Amino acid sequence: IRWRVIALAIAALTVAGAATVVARTTTAEAAAPAPIGVEDEGASCPVSLPGSLTSNAKLPDPFKKLDGTRISTQSEWTCRREEIEQLAEKYVYGTKPAKPASVTGTVSRTGITVNVSDNGRSASFSASVSLPSGTGPFPAVVVFAGLGADTSTIQGAGVAVINYNPLSVGAEGTPRTNKQGAFYTLYGSSSSTGLLMAWAWGVSRIIDVIQQSGGSILKADALGVTGCSRYGKGAFVTGAFDERIALTMPIESGSGGAPIFRGIPGESGSQPLSSAYSEQPWLGDAFSSFTGNPNTLPVDTHEMVAMVAPRGLFMMENPHIDWLAAKSGSVAALGGAEVYKALGAGDNISYWSDIQDGTHCAVRPEWKTPLQQNLQKFLLRTGNAAGVIRVSSLKSGNLADWRDWTTPTLTGGTPTSAPPTSAPPTSAPPTSA
Ligand code: MCU
């Protein structure tokens, strides 16, 4: 008992000390974006996942810990976020393995190569790079497959484009029992991890290589990710699960992407969860238990939105195509925005579905200025425009219909500090997802 008290006291002091430093930084730099840290800041948080699930028609309370109490300080968000992360891995996307034992590769002015190996298995993949004019080093946006992203505006702003082919890391068109691509070469073709998380893992390994490259061409602390449609789903998951990404920009991601799972069954014409689950192995195998009853999911996508907080997030949706579930998408944004607000980062999230052209994955004039502002704020660090939430009246969800919790006033500075690495000996061991 005495040891536990001492350990907890040390933990409290560590957290309090870190929070003080962060608070001072925050005051000095006003509303500047938070610094970019590691892939998963809360990796050492003790988490014990629930043994059984209960049905809840409302969105789970993002501020409520698995022990039933609510967080009251901003620094507690790091470990609460880790609970959400592990629930999302276990029930929605499948496990994202930590950085493999070996990641090597190169960054040149035209491309990035990645070589990974772990447990005697090896794989490689690559991405091409398009630099903007100028000398660099440059911020960069990882663009999934090129579909729908406004790469000319990105490059015109002085930001490099990394053209990522996710299918080389997780192939479409296979049965769940025989998944293919670099991720599955390492972790097995019967891995229960779905393609979205495999794709996210691939981007994380590209970031490893950029970090290791020394930063003369691309800046590892100024990276974004974007993609449209199925690649919007991928961009969303990628940004949620790697805290080194400064700006996440999913476009028209639809069912299985940003829209709340609980909203899909009641949103007319939206892609049913069973269809999103079976069209491709995008979601993890474990999601099969929830396609008919998302109310038993212990997480929903407003919490994946929250996982991105306080980092930059710009969600783009299309309300002209029912299949894309933009109404449920707006609820995810509004619900996640409550966490942004509680962390003092309400200005870091944008959502925009008020667009004229209904063509799926079109490059749109309405998104050009907010795109430039997000690039300036989070990657170039030359601007500080407030985020914009602009929901089309065609597909406008009401958060009040979906929540039975309120947003707390959290005390303290922005959560950028890691929790103590050694947990008290009496606490539960971390549960792997
Ligand atoms: C919105 O993303 C998907 C959608 O889930 C699929 O049902 C449809 O077939 O393709 C969309 C897409 O990726 O379009 C390029």
pLDDT in tens, 324-338: 999 999 999 999 999
Pocket test for ligand 1, best of 230, 277, 280 (most atoms within 8 A of CB): 230
Q: Please list the helix, strand and coil fractions of the chain in percent, rounded to the nearest 5, in that order.
A: 40, 15, 45
- Residue of 317, 323, 324, 359 to test ligand 1 pocket, by largest number of atoms within 8 Å of CB: 323
| pLDDT score for 204 | 98
Residue 402 pLDDT > 70, yes or no? yes
pLDDT for 26: 32
* Cα–Cα distance for residue pair 271/259, rounded to 1 Å: 11
Closest CA to ligand 1's atom 9? 279
Q: Which residue has the tokens 């919490």?
A: 303
Alpha helices in 241-300 (DSSP H): 273-279
By DSSP bridging, strand 247-251 and strand 312-316 are parallel
Q: What is the pLDDT of residues 171-186, one digit of tens each?
A: 999 999 999 999 999 9
Given a cut of 80, is residue 222 above it in pLDDT? Answer: yes
105 Cα: distance to centroid of ligand 1 (angstroms): 32
Q: Is the pLDDT of residue 216 over 80?
A: yes
DSSP 177: G
Token look-up 């809360």 returns 42
Confidence check: pLDDT of 256 > 60? yes
223 phi/psi in degrees, rounded to 5: -115, 140
d(CA 86, CA 389): 28
Query: Among residues 191, 229, 270, 417, which one is catalytic?
Result: 229
Q: What is the pTM of this model?
A: 0.89
pLDDT digits (tens, 9 = 90+) for 95-141: 999 999 999 999 999 999 999 999 999 999 999 999 999 999 999 99
Helix (H, G, I), strand (E, B) or coil at 224: strand
Mean pLDDT within 80-98: 98
Our answer to whether residue 302 is catalytic in this structure is no
CA atoms within 13 A on the CB side of 267: 29
Rg (CA), the chain: 20
Which atom belonging to ligand 1 lies closest to the Cα atom of 361? 15
Q: Are 375 and 224 in contact (CB under 8 A)?
A: yes
Residue 147: pLDDT band (50, 70, 90) is: confident
| In the predicted structure, residue 21 carries a pLDDT above the cut 80 | no
Q: 154 phi and psi, to 5 degrees?
A: -60, -50
Q: 230 C-alpha vs ligand 1 centroid, how far in Å?
A: 5
pLDDT of 297 > 80? The answer is: yes
Question: Do 169 and 124 form a contact (C-beta atoms < 8 A)?
Answer: no
d(Cα 159, Cα 151) in Å, to the nearest integer? 9
Name residue 162's beta-bridge partners. Answer: 129, 142
- Identify whether 360 is a catalytic site residue: yes
Cα 196 to chain center, whole Å?
11
Q: What is the pLDDT at residue 1?
A: 32
> Residue 122 Cα, ligand 1 centroid: separation in angstroms?
31
Q: Using the mean position of ligand 1's atoms as its centre, give its distance from the Cα of residue 232 in Å.
A: 9
Tokens of 255: 């069912």
CA of 229 to the centre of ligand 1 (A): 5
- Mean pLDDT, all residues of the chain: 90
**Distance in angstroms (rounded) separating the CA atoms of residues 157 and 249:** 16
pLDDT of residue 171: 98
Q: What is the pLDDT of residue 146?
A: 75
pLDDT given at position 33: 60
Residue 155's pLDDT is what? Answer: 98
Pocket of ligand 1 (CB under 6 A): 229-230, 254-255, 271, 276, 279, 324
This complex has an ipTM of 0.97
Average pLDDT for 76-88 = 98
Please give the pLDDT value at position 10.
36
Q: Which atom of ligand 1 is nearest to 233's Cα?
A: 2
What is the arithmetic mean of pLDDT over 164-169?
Answer: 98
Q: Which residue has the tokens 């409302």?
A: 58
Given a cut of 90, whether residue 8 has pLDDT beyond it is no
- In one-letter notation, the amino acid at residue 343 is L
